[in-house]
């Protein structure tokens, strides 16, 4: 996060985070105290010191903020301009100007199956201001990561990441982000487009971009890796951060993955550890 954190959104910020066609990520804290990341396209600044999102499907993040109001957020426009920050959940509403706005934009107004039924509001704590995703450095970091994963020693014995997940994670044109809970109790989101699989149990990423922020992640921290494609496919991983080390001669961060979650509809659910199927016995 920038050292010159801002405590208000400008009129330009409010206008530019408003379009429905964008990427919105909300980092929350689970009841177990672990980081969680959800894609929420409706996420936007709705006032100088407020951010909100509209709910049209059920999900873990809405449950999380009711018990842990501290959140982290990222909004990225289609031209790869980003806002990142922290906010605290305050209340929800089933009416009002934001409710009316969401239900009158084409994404929701013309959807035959669902509309926004609840709006969640959060007070802004701080944000970075608008800044571009530095694509030149992203590409360089992705190439470095590819070299490290090719030359690096494979560490994992378990196949936590199945074939689809590894192939999806290794796509260089996917968008990937890290999240962990900072010292102040707020989840943070860091772009990590360069992240790839080292083996069936570890994720690796070069530290050549956003290095100052990556250095702040304490080894041993619970770390999320959110991976998404613009085709709206995504996957969420979580595990122990092993810290920085040289892999194939390249300074890299490593995550030992122990949990994999499919956030995609129609049936979001845990992939690893496998959830045992139980027969339905009560049909009442």
Cα–Cα distance for residue pair 99/120, rounded to 1 Å: 10
What confidence category does residue 61 fall into, taking pLDDT thresholds of 50, 70 and 90?
Answer: confident
Has residue 55 got a pLDDT over 90? Answer: no
For residue 4, being part of any structural domain is answered with no
Mean pLDDT, the chain, rounded, equals: 91
Tell me, yes or no, whether 93 and 166 share the same domain.
no
**pLDDT digit string (tens) for 64-123?**
999 999 999 999 999 999 999 999 999 999 999 998 888 887 765 555 456 788 999 999
Tell me, yes or no, whether 149 and 185 share the same domain.
yes
What confidence category does residue 2 fall into, taking pLDDT thresholds of 50, 70 and 90?
Answer: very low
For residue 6, being part of any structural domain is answered with no
Tell me, yes or no, whether 89 and 154 share the same domain.
no
| Residue 22, domain extent | 11-131
- Residue 59: what pLDDT? 66
For residue 252, being part of any structural domain is answered with yes
172 and 206 Cβ atoms separated by less than 8 Å:
no
Mean pLDDT of 175-189: 98
For residue 204, being part of any structural domain is answered with yes
For residue 86, being part of any structural domain is answered with yes
What confidence category does residue 266 fall into, taking pLDDT thresholds of 50, 70 and 90?
Answer: low
Question: For 58-62, 241-245, 277-281, which range has the lowest pLDDT when averaged over its residues?
Answer: 277-281
Cα–Cα distance for residue pair 147/141, rounded to 1 Å: 10
115 and 108 Cβ atoms separated by less than 8 Å:
yes
Q: Indicate the residue among 131, 158, 191 that finishes a domain.
A: 131
Cα–Cα distance for residue pair 39/26, rounded to 1 Å: 6
Cα–Cα distance for residue pair 101/45, rounded to 1 Å: 13
For residue 284, being part of any structural domain is answered with no
Please tell me the pTM assigned to this model.
Answer: 0.92
For residue 278, being part of any structural domain is answered with no
For residue 203, give the CATH number of its domain.
Answer: 2.30.110.10
For residue 216, being part of any structural domain is answered with yes
Cα–Cα distance for residue pair 268/259, rounded to 1 Å: 14
């Amino acid at each position: 996060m920038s050292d010159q954190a801002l405590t208000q959104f400008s009129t330009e910020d409010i206008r530019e985070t408003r379009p429905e066609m964008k990427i919105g990520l909300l980092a929350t804290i689970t009841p177990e105290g672990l980081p969680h990341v959800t894609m929420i396209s409706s996420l936007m600044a709705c006032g100088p010191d407020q951010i909100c999102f509209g709910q049209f499907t059920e999900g873990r993040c809405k449950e999380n903020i009711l018990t842990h109001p501290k959140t982290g957020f990222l909004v990225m426009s289609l031209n790869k301009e980003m806002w990142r920050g922290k906010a605290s959940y305050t209340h929800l509403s089933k009416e009002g100007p934001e409710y009316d706005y969401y239900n009158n934009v084409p994404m929701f107004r013309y959807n035959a199956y669902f509309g926004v039924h609840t709006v969640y509001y959060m007070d802004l704590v701080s944000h970075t201001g608008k800044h571009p995703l530095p694509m030149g450095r992203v590409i360089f970091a992705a190439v470095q990561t590819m070299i490290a994963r090719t030359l690096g020693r494979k560490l994992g014995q378990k196949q936590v990441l199945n074939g689809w997940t590894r192939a999806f994670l290794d796509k260089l044109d996917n968008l990937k982000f890290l999240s962990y809970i900072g010292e102040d109790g707020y989840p943070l989101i860091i772009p990590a487009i360069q992240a790839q699989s080292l083996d069936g149990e570890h994720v690796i990423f070069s530290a050549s971009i956003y290095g100052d922020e990556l250095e702040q992640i304490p080894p041993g921290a619970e770390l999320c890796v959110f991976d998404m494609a613009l085709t709206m496919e995504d996957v969420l991983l979580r595990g122990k951060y092993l810290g920085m080390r040289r892999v194939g001669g390249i300074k890299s961060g490593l995550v030992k993955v122990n949990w994999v979650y499919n956030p995609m509809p129609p049936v979001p659910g845990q992939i690893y550890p496998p959830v045992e199927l139980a027969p339905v016995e009560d049909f009442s």
